[in-house]
Structure 1
């Protein structure tokens, strides 16, 4: 089944819950980036949360998440939009650490010192910029802190990726729980209790749980209603034309140097690894546009 997100309200409409399955999406990222297992988990968790944050937007709005910790994985970048399209990459894909129990040590890969930066393009005059410090490096806790600190919305974020011995992704998914106006302390305590009882989100997805099933597990015996469903997919819209525009933006001096020294140029998309070649004649044409 294709990956998708559901949006729901529970506990008398005082709690908002988003839940998703993202196995195909994260697996596509692994195929593009050739990441080692821990790097796959770190990128996958960010893709999962990014896709759900993107689903909170409208129209042509989009969001960029950049996580820069002091771990060896370096920068994690994820773009998402309101149409369910998400893409991402890590600076160093060849990172793999495990705890003694065999679980992937994402915190060691990401690092426990650094920041999460969120940039929202709401199609207004200015972009929305926000950043919070990394508090654990496991990312679920870090995004929980982001929503509470930056968006003043008490939240709980769960995200998980299950990587197989052949490095492929067999299960990935997540949830975002947000406290809405009118929620009581009793309701919040019930949710905390429920979260302590349920399996990890990657285990639920591996066992065949749908996003609706994840919502049901979070709510236990409490009522909820599904408001919306949206497909998500790893999508990159890079093109030779976009890279040509990037070369033009280098300016005539830099383009002249490339033509004189190399006579050609090859660019590669960070997100999908597609390559675009520009021969001498194409570069000269771009130079003329830069001069104009």
Structure 2
């Protein structure tokens, strides 16, 4: 099944709902960063949450947002970047975390992320200044943390569910989630009914593993309610790094540091944190960069 987000309106437009299958997206991240199962679940949930947030908040080409989860757990910082076109990239500082399951027999994402720290979102919407919102980590499970961010920073009552199922061989079996946003004027009876449904909801990754589509996920959540499906958006792990971009970064080091790379290492290798792509710069590449700085002077 392809990865995509579906968007819908429910309860006469008073509830906005999103559901996503991101199995291939999280699989790509797991392969690129060689994450172990606990880190895979934490990074995967952050990727899914960022895709849901991007789908709701970003409207035009060029709009981007970055989610930074800086907790006190062994996983270290998780940084994820998403755009308006369903592209996402991200990494976890320590990809090799494998800790015992929690008391419910599930992957202990809270144990990876930690329960203290900062959850922040930076949005670049093409304005003079990017928007930045920051809240404390309240759970470490990440679904609750995205939910708290939306309520505290954007004043949108929401429910966010994120789920990653990791197989015994470290591969990603299923990954997905949902985001439900309450719009002004929603009936309290509707909200109570919705809360009850969410409390009884099976694990999202199990539903995806059983073959449920994003549309069917929403049908499980809003059982029997009329839904107006608005659109589908493909999503994928995609990084826009390039050798050219890294060469611009090396230029900022200046002539003497670049010359030291030539003298001491006969070249340089750069690695993209987001996707793990490596770019090699040989002596000739570095000499060209020095000449660009000096205008060709020796």
TM range (shorter): over 0.9
- What secondary structure is seen at the aligned counterpart in 1 of 2:105? coil
2:48 corresponds to: 48
Q: For the residues of structure 2 that align with 1:288 and 1:274, how far apart are their CA atoms?
A: 26
Deviation by residue 1:172-220 (Cα, 9 ceiling, x = unmatched): 0000110001101111101101112221111111111111011111111
1:58 corresponds to: 59
1:220 corresponds to: 223
Is 1:83 the counterpart of 2:85 in the alignment?
yes
Is 1:255 the counterpart of 2:258 in the alignment?
yes
Give 1:236 deviation, angstroms. 1.4
Q: For the residues of structure 1 that align with 2:77 and 2:214, how far apart are their CA atoms?
A: 29
Q: For the residues of structure 2 that align with 1:105 and 1:83, how far apart are their CA atoms?
A: 31
1:6 corresponds to: 6
Give 1:31 deviation, angstroms. 0.6
Of the three residues 132, 140, 152, the one matched with 2:135 is: 132
Task: Name the CA shift for 1:12/1:101 in 2 (closer, same or farther; >3 Å).
Answer: closer
4-13 or 56-65, larger mean C-alpha shift:
56-65
Is 1:120 the counterpart of 2:108 in the alignment?
no
Q: For the residues of structure 2 that align with 1:221 and 1:17, how far apart are their CA atoms?
A: 15
Q: For the residues of structure 2 that align with 1:272 and 1:182, how far apart are their CA atoms?
A: 43
2:29 corresponds to: 29
Deviation by residue 1:219-259 (Cα, 9 ceiling, x = unmatched): 11222110111000111121111111111122233223323
Give 1:101 deviation, angstroms. 4.6
5-14 or 99-108, larger mean C-alpha shift:
99-108
Q: For the residues of structure 1 that align with 2:275 and 2:158, how far apart are their CA atoms?
A: 32
2:234 corresponds to: 231
1:166 corresponds to: 169
Task: Name the CA shift for 1:10/1:101 in 2 (closer, same or farther; >3 Å).
Answer: closer
Give 1:75 deviation, angstroms. 0.8
- What secondary structure is seen at the aligned counterpart in 2 of 1:170? strand
Is 1:265 the counterpart of 2:235 in the alignment?
no
- What secondary structure is seen at the aligned counterpart in 2 of 1:141? helix
Q: For the residues of structure 2 that align with 1:168 and 1:240, how far apart are their CA atoms?
A: 29
Aligned pairs for 1:94-113 within 5 A: 94-97=96-99, 98-113=101-116
Give 1:158 deviation, angstroms. 0.1
- What secondary structure is seen at the aligned counterpart in 2 of 1:257? helix
Give 1:262 deviation, angstroms. 2.1
Deviant stretches of 4+, over 3 Å: none
Q: For the residues of structure 2 that align with 1:140 and 1:252, how far apart are their CA atoms?
A: 47
Deviation by residue 1:56-76 (Cα, 9 ceiling, x = unmatched): 212220111111100110010
Structure 1: runs of 5+ lacking an equivalent: none
Q: For the residues of structure 1 that align with 2:83 and 2:254, how far apart are their CA atoms?
A: 30
Structure 2: runs of 5+ lacking an equivalent: none
- What secondary structure is seen at the aligned counterpart in 2 of 1:45? helix
Is 1:289 the counterpart of 2:273 in the alignment?
no
